[in-house]
A and B are shown apart, each in its own frame.
Chain A
Amino acid sequence: MRLSPDEIIFWQHGFLKLNATILFTWGLMFVLTVGAKLITRNFSTGLKRTRWQNLVEIIVSAIEKQIEDVGLSHPRNYLGFLGTLFLFVAVASLCTVIPGYEPPTGSLSTTAALALCVFVAVPFFGIKEQGVGNYLKSYMEPTFIMLPFNLISEISRTLALAVRLFGNMMSGAMIIAILLTITPFIFPIVMTMLGLLTGMVQAYIFSILAAVYIAAATRVRKSKPEPEAQNIEA
């Protein structure tokens, strides 16, 4: 029983190795970059535009709007990071319809990497916005007694991010694999469709949670801690 595409190793030299996770990630990166390049190749700045351009503009505008709704006042500063998180997770899930494809997000290493990125990005943006002192003070809100709890919360939510995405993606692939052995014809297709939905939802949750964490870190000190994030996590 294989739980992660990390286990498929194509090449290894001591510590260095080339496994399916990295390979598929490169594939996705290539597809995304080439796709982006192709789509934006003939971008028009006038009133007339192609359907593809319209679609891409809608997606990017929606992401930007979503980031703004979360509470980040300058969404364009975070669009690169949060938007790429969403696109990567979403495309990784969508590609599960391709036979033989293993989603890199089904590997705990990948999800941990993404969660680590969020873990680093939160203080990065927080310090950038408020300064080091103010950011560090936010760990002692409302009192210094809360410092250990805040630190625990910081670490645990990063862990939760990684495990949540991994669990969902891995379980989807796992269920399909199990179902293929039991009822190999119709039911896996239905489950794949459900998997697509799950993947999209996970992509949304992952990026929105990252946005909420960053928003909480960059928010002015007087404001209350975000109840939104609590709700979504629950």
Chain B
Amino acid sequence: MLIDWFTVGAQTLNFIILVWLMKRFLYQPILHALDAREKHIATELANADAKQAEAQRERDEFQQKNKEFDQQHAALLRQATDEAKVERQRLLDEARKAADDLSAKRQERLRNDARNLNQVISLRAQQEVFAIARKVLTDLATTSLEERMGEMFAHRLQEMDGEAKAGLAEALKTKSDPALVRSAFDLPAEQRATIQNALNETFSAEIRVRFETAPKLISGIELSTNGLKVAWSIADYLASLEKGVGELLQEKDIPVTKADTQPEEPQS
């Protein structure tokens, strides 16, 4: 008999025990180890994924920031360029204005200089003419200039044309105050008498006169009453001289002014 039933039972029992032993000592530890490793790997992969995602997110964020920074940078640069352009324009305008002002001032100064020169020339000419005239008159007629002036004034009074004479006479008559005779210097008594006589003769009446000294008259004599005036002075001659000198200086000024107001080329 090939089958021994006791052995069959014993082997069945043995096999069941072996199954339990294998489960206990082989499969469970191995499956546990496999599961633990799988879990470990899965965790690590998940971590890696998370880290990668994090890295990706940070990279995106960085790129975004970089982009924003670039845009900001470009905007700032553009703004700075615009501001610089505006500032440059402003500075150029200021410089141009300053140059214009300077030029204007220079012209003004030149004009002042010319005016001063004119005055100096006028004064000098006046003094010279006065001195020459005084000398000539002294030398020639042995009379003082003042005498001659008095005579000249008297002469002019007498030679006045009819209309002017009538107007003046009317004014002198209607005026209650004495007529005012102003001279650049104190008239001596003779002169005063000569003028008084000339007035009396000219207007055929007793004219009351008040004498006054006015240095601005420049070697001259002037009769004024009720708004009307008769005068003789070297200032008349000097005025024509002054006019001539003024025209001469103006002619000199023009080319200088033109040269000053040339516009400056803007620098880029």
CA distance A15 to B32 in the complex (A): 43
Residues of chain B within 8 A of A32, CB atoms compared: 18, 21-22, 26
Neighbour of B36 across the interface among A4, A33, A45, A53, CB < 8 A: A45
Q: A21-B11, A25-B11, A83-B22 are in contact. Are A117 and B16 (CB under 8 A)?
A: yes
Tell me the residues in window 1-52 of chain B with beta carbons closer than 8 Å to chain A beta carbons. 2-12, 14-23, 25-27, 29-34, 36-37, 40-41
Given A46-B40, A108-B3, A110-B7, are A80 and B19 neighbors across the interface (CB < 8 Å)? yes
A46 to B30, Cβ gap below 8 A? no
Q: Which residue from chain A places its CB closest to the CB of B5 in the assembled complex?
A: A109
A223 within 8 A of partner (CB): no
What does DSSP make chain A's interface, helix, strand, loop or mixed? helix
Q: Hey, which chain A residues are within 8 Å of B25, CB to CB?
A: 33, 36-37, 40
Q: Which residues of B contact A109 (CB under 8 A)?
A: 2-5, 7-8, 11
Contact (Cβ within 8 A) B34 A57: yes
Which one, A22, A44, A45, contacts B11 given CB within 8 A? Answer: A22
User: Which chain B residues lie closer than 8 Å to A110 at the CB level?
Assistant: 7-8, 11
Contact status B2-A47, CB under 8 Å: no
Q: Which residues of B contact A88 (CB under 8 A)?
A: 15, 18
Partner of B21, one of A33, A45, A47, A56: A33
If over half of B's interface residues share one DSSP class (helix, strand or loop), that class is named, otherwise mixed; here it is helix
A17 contacts partner chain B, Cβ-Cβ < 8 Å: yes
A113 touches B22 (CB 8 A): no
List A contacts of B29 (CB < 8 A): 40, 43
Distance from A21 Cβ to chain B, minimum over Cβ atoms (Å): 6
A84 at the interface (CB under 8 A from B): yes
Residues of B within 8 A of A53 (CB): 33
- For A32, A36, A47, the residue with the greatest tally of chain B CB atoms inside 10 Å of its CB is A36
Residues of chain B with a CB closer than 8 A to A47's CB: 37, 40-41
For residue B2, which residue of chain A has the nearest CB? Answer: A108
Note all chain A residues with C-beta closer than 8 A to B40: 45-47
From residue B49, how far is it (CB to closest CB) to chain A in Å? Answer: 18
Once the chains bind, are A40 and B26 in contact (CB under 8 Å)? yes
Chain A residues close to B by CB (< 8 Å): 3-4, 6, 15-17, 19, 21-22, 25-26, 29, 32-33, 36-37, 39-40, 43-47, 49, 53, 56-57, 60-61, 76, 79-81, 83-84, 87-88, 104, 107-110, 112-114, 116-117, 166
- Report whether A15 and B6 are in contact in the complex, using a CB–CB cutoff of 8 Å: yes
Complexed CA–CA distance, A60 and B5 (Å): 33
Residue of A nearest to B31 (CB): A76
A17 contacts across to B, CB distance below 8 A:
4, 6-7
Bound together, the chains give a CA A104 to CA B14 distance in angstroms of: 12
204-231 of chain B: CB within 8 A of chain A: none
In the complex, the chain A residue whose C-beta lies closest to that of B17 is: A29
Could you pull out 5 A-B pairs where Cβ atoms are within 8 angstroms? A22-B11, A36-B25, A80-B23, A109-B5, A113-B11
* Nearest opposing residue in chain B for A110, CB measure: B11
Nearest Cβ in chain B — how far from A112, in angstroms?
5
- Provide the residues of chain B in CB contact with A19, threshold 8 Å: 4, 7
Q: Return A54 CB to nearest CB of chain B, in Å.
A: 11
Contact of A45 with B7 in the complex, beta carbons under 8 Å:
no
Q: Which residues of A lie under 8 Å from residue B14 when comparing CB positions? A: 22, 25-26, 29, 113
Q: Contact between B18 and A21 (Cβ–Cβ < 8 Å)? A: no
Report the separation of the CA atoms of residues A56 and B34 in the bound assembly, to the nearest whole angstrom.
Answer: 11
Compute how far the CA of A117 lies from the CA of B36 in the bound complex, rounded to whole angstroms. Answer: 32
- Measured between alpha carbons, how far is A96 from B32 in the docked complex, in Å? 32
The answer for the CA separation of A61 and B31 in the assembled complex, in Å, is 9
Q: Bound complex: CA of A3 vs CA of B10, how far in Å?
A: 19
**Min C-beta distance of B160 to chain A, whole Å:** 140
Residues of A near B5 (CB, < 8 A) are 109
Interface residues of B in 224-253 (CB under 8 A from A): none
Provide the bound-state CA to CA distance between A39 and B27, in Å.
11
Excluding A84-B23, A117-B12, 10 further A-B contacts by CB distance (< 8 Å) are A6-B2, A6-B4, A6-B7, A15-B6, A21-B7, A40-B29, A45-B40, A60-B26, A109-B3, A113-B9
